[in-house]
Amino acid sequence: MDHPDFRVGGKIFASLGYPDDKCGMVKLPPDKQESFSQTYPDAFAPVKGRWGRSGATQVHLENVDEPTLRLAITTAYQNIAPKRRSTKKV
């Protein structure tokens, strides 16, 4: 897609350079997408259309600080990463 993306388990959880070099995208659960968008409206906004309704969240990189971006990326990773199965026997 002509921009870097970050994947886990073959699925994208974040990307850079979409739609331009001042933006990125994180794939958040709907409740977290709403929270980030409301708390940091200058930095986060749902992507338009169906992709946005499924959690794709645009990040305006100039408007976000490093700790907040790190939290968003971690949240996106946890949202997409395969869940570990417990090896504990009951």
Q: Residue 13 is inside which H or E element, if any?
A: strand 11-16
pTM metric for this prediction: 0.86
Per the listing, tokens 């939290």 go with 71
The answer to whether residue 90 sits within a structural domain is no
- Tens-place pLDDT, residues 51-89: 999 999 999 999 999 999 999 999 999 999 987 765 666
How far is 12 from 5, CA to CA, in rounded Å? 6
Q: Is residue 85 part of a domain?
A: no
pLDDT given for residue 25 in this prediction: 97
DSSP string over 21-87: TTEEEEE--HHHHHHHHHH-TTTEEEPSSHHHHTTEEEEEGGG--HHHHHHHHHHHHHHHSPPPPP-
Domain membership of residue 10 (yes or no) is: yes
Q: How many domains are contained in the chain?
A: 1
| pLDDT digits 0-9 by tens, 40-52 | 999 999 999 999 9
Is the pLDDT score of 1 beyond 60? Answer: no
Q: What pLDDT shows up at residue 2?
A: 72
CATH number of the domain encompassing residue 50: 3.90.1150.30
Q: Compute the average pLDDT of residues 17-42.
A: 95
